[in-house]
């Protein structure tokens, strides 16, 4: 089984210029900073990267910029999901051509898909590429909830080798291990579940938090790796207020606001998404002060 990812899998936002185009320079810099900070993989075009809000051309542009900038220093996991099977396959092939280490697919819903439709969707894409595929379950965004049973069926497709679970329910992960065995390559996509998921056996943590606190993210992973339960717990609770905040307010809104607070000018979110309202920015600022990401003292 070819599961090329582990550790901290960092999800960059897609920054825009003031005129609303993809800001390639800033995107490259964000990715570079993440790699230099030590993250174990880079995953462009995730939910954080507002994949579904981009045109086909912009999606290809983002994939190219990121893969070029990473330049093989760490693996890349490229989001290729679309509502139709045909478009998903198109993007998967493009990512493969660019040299992505793996692609990620979240089955998206307008009409709820039957289990047979979900399996057929993955199967059709998987037949068209040879790159490893991560199945992504996130009912809160995709609108479909893949049961552990369906996920175990997806993992029987030869190059569907990984699963990212973002329901935020650790019981799903336990069930997956029961169904698929302890070697199943599952990854956690729910930030506040980082500790419980690693303890349950997750190979990696898919997170946008490395925009802000990469060292703490890595510290938690390393504590788990050396079996240091007390250290992992301490590190987790330190990060938890930020992890809860970015999930509660939507990753693109929250990460953009944090970058702005930290001095990086990011362009406007793509409508209908809007910037984090001022009262929540103030709350975020306080969290960043407590994490010593921002200097303390008087909080405006």
Binding residues for a second copy, total number by CB under 8 A: 64
The yes or no reply on residue 216 touching a second copy (CB under 8 A) is no
The residue (of 230 and 263) whose beta carbon lies closer to a second copy is 230
Q: How far is the CB of 217 from a second copy (least distance, A)?
A: 16
The yes or no reply on residue 229 touching a second copy (CB under 8 A) is yes
Instruction: Fill in the per-residue mask, 65 to 94: x = in contact with a second copy (CB under 8 A), - = not in contact.
Output: ------------------xxxx--------
Beta-sheet strand order (sheet of 204-207): 41-42, 7-10, 204-207, 186-188, 160-165, 133-137, 102-105, 77-79
The residue (of 25 and 116) whose beta carbon lies closer to a second copy is 116
Calpha distance 62→228 (Å, rounded): 38
> How would you class 107 by CB atoms within 10 Å of its CB: exposed for 0-12, middle for 13-18, buried for 19 or more?
buried
Instruction: Fill in the per-residue mask, 126 to 165: x = in contact with a second copy (CB under 8 A), - = not in contact.
Output: --------------xxxx----------------------
The yes or no reply on residue 292 touching a second copy (CB under 8 A) is no
For 73-104, the DSSP string reads SS-BEEE---SSHHHHHHHHHHHHHHT-SEEE
Q: Collapse the DSSP code of 1 into the 3-class scheme (helix H, G, I; strand E, B; otherwise coil) and give the result.
A: coil
* Window contacting a second copy (CB under 8 A); options: 91-99, 105-113, 129-137, 205-213: 105-113
| Residues between 164 and 193 that touch a second copy (CB under 8 A) | 168-171, 174-175, 177-178, 182, 192-193
In this structure, the number of other CB atoms found within 10 A of the CB of residue 230 comes to: 8
> How would you class 263 by CB atoms within 10 Å of its CB: exposed for 0-12, middle for 13-18, buried for 19 or more?
exposed
The yes or no reply on residue 19 touching a second copy (CB under 8 A) is no
The yes or no reply on residue 258 touching a second copy (CB under 8 A) is no
Strands (DSSP E) contained in the chain are 7-10, 41-42, 77-79, 102-105, 133-137, 160-165, 186-188, 204-207
Calpha distance 205→197 (Å, rounded): 8
The yes or no reply on residue 289 touching a second copy (CB under 8 A) is no
Q: How far is the CB of 116 from a second copy (least distance, A)?
A: 6
DSSP code for 272: T
Q: How far is the CB of 269 from a second copy (least distance, A)?
A: 9
Residue from 3, 200, 246, 287 in contact with a second copy (CB under 8 A): 200
Which residue ranges make up the site for a second copy (CB under 8 A)?
A: 47, 50-53, 83-86, 107-114, 116-118, 120-121, 124, 140-143, 168-171, 174-175, 177-178, 182, 192-193, 195-196, 199-201, 224, 227-230, 232-233, 237, 240-241, 244, 250-253, 270-274, 277
């Amino acid at each position: 089984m070819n599961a090329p990812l582990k550790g901290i899998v960092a999800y960059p936002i897609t920054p825009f210029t003031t005129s609303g185009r993809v800001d390639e320079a800033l995107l490259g810099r964000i990715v570079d900073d993440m790699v230099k900070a030590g993250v174990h993989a880079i995953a462009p075009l995730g939910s954080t990267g507002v994949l579904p809000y981009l045109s086909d051309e912009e999606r290809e542009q983002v994939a190219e910029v990121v893969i070029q900038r990473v330049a093989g220093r760490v693996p890349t996991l490229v989001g290729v999901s679309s509502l139709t099977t045909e478009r998903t396959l198109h993007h998967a092939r493009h990512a493969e051509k660019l040299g992505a280490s793996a692609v990620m697919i979240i089955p998206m819903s307008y009409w709820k898909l039957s289990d047979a439709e979900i399996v057929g969707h993955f199967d059709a894409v998987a037949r068209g590429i040879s790159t490893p595929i991560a199945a992504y379950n996130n009912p809160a965004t995709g609108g479909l909830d893949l049961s552990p049973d369906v996920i175990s069926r997806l993992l029987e497709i030869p190059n569907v080798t990984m699963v990212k679970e973002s329901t935020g329910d650790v019981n799903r992960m336990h069930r997956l291990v029961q169904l698929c065995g302890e070697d199943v390559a599952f990854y956690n996509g729910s930030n506040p579940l980082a500790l419980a998921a690693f303890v349950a056996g997750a190979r990696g943590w898919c997170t946008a938090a490395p925009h802000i606190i990469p060292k703490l993210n890595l510290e938690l992973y390393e504590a788990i790796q050396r079996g240091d339960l007390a250290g992992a717990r301490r590190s987790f609770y330190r990060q938890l207020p930020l992890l809860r905040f970015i999930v509660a307010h939507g990753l693109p809104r929250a990460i953009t606001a944090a970058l702005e607070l930290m001095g990086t000018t990011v362009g406007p979110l793509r409508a209908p998404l809007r910037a984090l309202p001022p009262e929540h920015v103030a709350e975020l600022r306080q969290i960043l002060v407590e994490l010593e990401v921002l200097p303390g003292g008087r909080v405006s």
